[in-house]
Chain A
């Protein structure tokens, strides 16, 4: 029987002792192999052949409730959410239709056909009937507002529902008062506002429906990321190949991926070789070669060969799932710029209720006749127009789209604060190795001296033969270069590393020295004739190393870390945007100078130890600069942490994803310029939203209260207020959606 892994959410487990009870109940289910409960998360992991339904029944029999947990990044969870949104959208549209089908005819009657006043008994009866129809609309289409308002009230809360319920309730109650006791009011005050009640309920439902629709678009980036995930995996168990759901893939499973298929979980290749397109995660367009021992990442696309890999991370531990979770978290995070709006929103609704009462009192005491009507209309309009939704949504909606937009171009932003600060960066500090350069040194020049009497290949065979015993970073470059050229390495003996100098070895009784100028001087090797050449190589950002045989110089081998092809262009983009660029490196002055010159950096600091990088960042901050630091996330960690924004150059699988403020999934520094461009565009969008929301409330409320009446005789109709309120948040969400069209441009 197949082994499944089922995760259940446990509801009602209040104490640690419940764990034993639940585990016991689950273990008693036939087919269960193992049960493991995480009490903190109330999640239980069950392996075996039992079905989720059997497991849920067992938990319920033990006195708790359980639901099956969907994979965090699963397509199904997203589909469920979309379905729920769609159902909600449809129900809101239904409510809109019902309310407007009563509200619109009433409004047309009031505007073009007859008076909405109560003077005769017939009118009393007719409008009484309309009042009851409106009441049924309120209960049918507006029930959620009234229930929400009441529940909020008893919890000492006031929210949007409170305003709508009070506004429409006031209009309806006043109208019913007119219908029931017309003689209590002066003739000119016997006006009914049933159309306002029905229209407001209809329009606000419509606004909410359109907002739900527009909000769906803001999470498109997440949907695309989730869409990268394969639904099934082909695993090899007991020699048989089975197509199973990815949720059931276990760590250590052997997984086969054929050409054109997506990598279903993270793993390490154990059979075959292929090219994998990782562009969907890293933005890097070139496919990457994968052979035995290469890591493969969920969601990337196998282009050519068939491979078998061993699953190392499954479910919510895969790099893609972690990225999705991180983007989701960042999308929901707060921005410092939004805090003022937060403070205002927290006091807003009760304050509006007070403004509405004060406005009504002013009209009642000082307004023209019928002052009571003016008082009711102004209070209702203030309550209806003052929706804090636009204010509350101004920042979260833009952050949602901005963070998603960045993720699409391989830039992972950790939180809202990083997003905001990135827009203010004045100095960008770049680590050289692995950031501006590729971080993997290569042999660039082999200069064979006249005394050598051997060729380039023999020189490399000797040098690589020596260096394969060394752990020096440059040694790898030499061995790799010889291996690539299929040169057979010499088998040297008596290898000795000389710290800070190089190495010494023996070959067939000959003494070999390989290292820097100091090593040659120590052994009195004459390098005079080739010193100029060595200096020239150093000036080209290459590290020259001398090879001597029996104390005679036979070759200079230069090793360099190549500059990434687009580093200069990306740095020019940063400078074009007014950002000063500074380079830090542990390399010598000559190499640093040469690299800086090649990429167009004027300010650089050479021979900087890793621990000193942070103090350079601190110095810049002391000068009042907002510092962005970019490094590979490991030796630059202190500087990354100290900088106002730390940018880690990750490879998509690196731990840097979870350590830096912003992670660039691809190696290119263009990601840096893109991140800053997205950040600036998002902040601009937020400011537009906040401006719109503040203006809307700051202007809308006084107009609703009747400030324009003394000068222009203008008092806002509650229906207009209802329409304005309905579309205020929609405007904000739509403006935020404009960010989806943003493209970071290279200048």
Chain B
């Protein structure tokens, strides 16, 4: 009984750490990053771009679910429909350093743009 309770508490701790506290290291940094939208995730889901410089991200949606069709980047008021199996280029204006979330309409697919 004690073992099961401890296991449950450890599981709760793990969920809090894994989903809320842990922040993946080594974001991807490159020009013209292509993000694949497939199986409920953006790959890569964390991208690094330089500050003060306009750039673009290419999204390739290979996921048929309706949820994945809309990409939103609230900080920039970007909301674009991603074509299925075709690249959709999202132009990102020059931004100040910080982390900017992007996600699908229902916030099931999540990603972060790290501006450095």
Query: Which residues of A approach B to under 8 Å, CB–CB?
Result: 9, 11-15, 40-43, 67, 77, 80-81, 84-85, 87-88, 91, 144, 147-149, 151-153, 155-161, 208, 211-212, 215, 328-329, 332-334, 342, 345-347, 349-350, 353-354, 357-358, 360-361, 364-365, 388-389, 391-393, 396, 415
B98 in the interface, Cβ–Cβ < 8 Å? no
Interface string of B86-107 (1 = CB under 8 A from A): 1101010000000000010111
Contact of A156 with B18 in the complex, beta carbons under 8 Å: yes
Query: Could you say which residues of chain A place their CB within 8 Å of the CB of B38?
Result: 151
Contact of A157 among B19, B64, B77 (CB under 8 A): B19
Shortest Cβ distance from residue A747 to the other chain B in the assembled complex, whole angstroms = 35
A520 CA to B12 CA, complexed, in Å: 91
Q: A332 near B15 (CB under 8 angstroms)? A: no
Chain B residues in 8 Å Cβ range of A353: 15
Say whether B72 contacts A42, CB under 8 Å.
Answer: no
Q: Judge if B83 is at the interface, Cβ distance under 8 Å.
A: yes
A-B contacts, 7 of them at CB < 8 A, read A12-B34, A42-B32, A43-B89, A155-B45, A350-B15, A358-B12, A396-B70
Partner of B72, one of A151, A334, A349: A334
A365 smallest CB distance to B (angstroms): 7
Chain B residue with minimal CB distance to A415? B77
Asked if A392 and B107 sit within 8 Å, CB to CB, the answer is: yes
- Using a CB–CB cutoff of 8 Å, the interface residues on chain B facing chain A are 1, 4-5, 8, 11-12, 15-16, 18-20, 22, 24, 30-32, 34, 38-43, 45, 54, 56, 58, 60, 64-67, 70, 72, 74, 77, 79-81, 83-84, 86-87, 89, 91, 103, 105-110
Which residues of A sit under 8 angstroms from B91, Cβ to Cβ?
A: 40-41
CB <8 Å contact, B106 and A67: no
Q: Is the CB of B106 within 8 A of A14?
A: no
Closest Cβ of chain B: how far from A544's Cβ, in Å? Answer: 51
Q: How far is the CA of A84 from the CA of B81 in the complex (A)?
A: 14
- Is there an interface contact between B39 and A332, defined as CB atoms closer than 8 Å? no
Are the C-beta atoms of B79 and A11 separated by less than 8 Å?
Answer: no
CB-CB under 8 A from A40, the residues of chain B are 54, 56, 89, 91
In angstroms, Cα B24 to Cα A626, docked, is 45
B residues less than 8 Å from A346 (CB atoms): 103, 107, 110
Which residues of chain B come closer than 8 Å to A144, judged between CB atoms? 39, 65
A219's nearest neighbour on chain B, judged by CB, is B81
Q: Is the CB of A354 within 8 A of B12?
A: yes
Q: Which 10 A-B pairs have the closest CB atoms?
A: A392-B106, A148-B40, A332-B79, A159-B108, A350-B19, A88-B64, A14-B32, A345-B107, A151-B39, A151-B41
Q: Could you say which residues of chain A place their CB within 8 Å of the CB of B19?
A: 156-158, 349-350
Asked if B18 and A67 make an inter-chain contact with CB atoms under 8 angstroms apart, the answer reads no
Are A393 and B105 in contact, CB atoms less than 8 angstroms apart?
Answer: yes
When the two chains form their complex, are residues A357 and B107 in contact, meaning their CB atoms are under 8 A apart?
Answer: no
Chain B proximity of A223: nearest CB distance (Å):
14
Contact A332 B81, CB 8 Å, known A345-B107, A358-B12: yes
How far, in angstroms, from A120 to B97 measured CA to CA in the complex?
65
Indicate which residue in A12, A161, A208 contacts B40 across the interface (CB closer than 8 Å).
A161
Interchain CA distance A251-B77 in the complex, whole Å: 32
Given contacts A157-B110, A332-B72, A354-B15, contact A11 B60 (CB under 8 A): yes
State whether A157 touches B45 (Cβ < 8 A): yes
Contact call B110/A14, Cβ cutoff below 8 A: no
Beyond the given A159-B108, A332-B70, could you list 17 further A-B residue pairs with CB under 8 A, ordered by the A residue number?
A13-B32, A43-B89, A85-B66, A144-B39, A144-B65, A151-B40, A155-B42, A156-B22, A156-B24, A157-B19, A161-B40, A215-B66, A332-B105, A333-B77, A357-B8, A364-B4, A365-B1
Q: Collect the chain A residues with CB atoms within 8 Å of residue B84's CB.
A: 80-81, 84
Q: Are B8 and A361 in contact (CB under 8 A)?
A: yes
Whether A14 contacts B30 by the Cβ 8 Å rule is: yes
Nearest residue (CB) in B for A343 is B107
CB atoms of B40 and A152 under 8 A apart: yes
- Which A residues lie within 8 Å of B86 (CB)? 9, 67
Contacts of A91 in B (CB 8 A): 64
Interface centre among B1, B42, B91, B105 (most CB of A within 10 A): B105
A358 vs B20: C-alpha distance when bound (angstroms):
18
A652 and B42 alpha carbons, distance in the complex (Å): 39
Q: Is the CB of A15 within 8 A of B31?
A: yes
Bound-state CA distance A370–B104 (Å) is 42
Central interface residue in B15, B41, B58, B67, by most chain A CB within 10 Å: B41
Chain B residue at minimal CB-CB distance from A334: B74
Does B107 contact A148, Cβ atoms closer than 8 Å? no
In the assembled complex, which residues on chain A have CB atoms less than 8 Å from the CB atom of B106? 160, 345, 388-389, 391-393
B36 to chain A, nearest CB (A): 11
B108 CB → nearest A CB, Å: 4
CA distance A665 to B88 in the complex (A): 30
> A424 to chain B: closest CB distance in Å?
20
Q: Is the CB of B79 within 8 A of A334?
A: yes
Which residues of B are found within 8 Å of A153, using beta-carbon distances? 18
Please give me the residue from chain A that is nearest to B104 by CB atom: A392
Within the assembled complex, what's the spacing in Å between the Cα atoms of A456 and B42?
77
Complex CA distance for A328 and B83, rounded to whole angstroms = 13
Question: With A and B bound together, what is the CA distance between A332 and B1 in angstroms?
Answer: 50
Q: Contact at A328–B81, with CB atoms within 8 Å?
A: yes
Provided the pairs A11-B34, A11-B58, A350-B20 are in contact, do residues A332 and B80 lie with their beta carbons within 8 angstroms? yes
Question: How many Å from the CB of A102 to the closest CB on chain B?
Answer: 23
Interchain nearest-CB distance for B83 vs A (Å):
7
Contacts of B74 in A (CB 8 A): 334, 342
Q: Contacts A13-B32, A149-B40, A155-B45 known; A329 to B15 CB distance under 8 Å?
A: no
When distances are taken between beta carbons in the complex, the residues of chain A under 8 Å from B54 are: 40
**What residues of chain A lie closer than 8 Å to B87, measured between beta carbons?**
9, 11, 42, 67
B60–A361 touching, CB < 8 Å? no
In the complex, A334→B38 CA distance in Å? 24
Check if B79 sits within 8 Å of A212, measured CB to CB: no
State which of B5, B18, B108 has its C-beta within 8 Å of the C-beta of A392.
Answer: B108
Instruction: Check A41–B56 contact: CB distance below 8 A.
Output: yes
Closest Cβ of chain A to B10, distance in Å, is 10
Residues on the A chain within 8 Å of B109, using CB: 157, 159
CB nearest to A150 among chain B residues: B39
The interface centre, meaning the residue of A9, A147, A155 with most chain B CB atoms within 10 A of its CB, is A155
Do A208 and B107 have beta carbons less than 8 Å apart?
no
Asked whether A208 and B65 contact (CB < 8 A) given A9-B87, A156-B24, A158-B19, the answer is: yes
Give the complex CA separation of A345 and B31 in angstroms.
Answer: 31
Query: Within the complex, what minimum Cβ distance (angstroms) separates A464 from chain B?
Result: 52
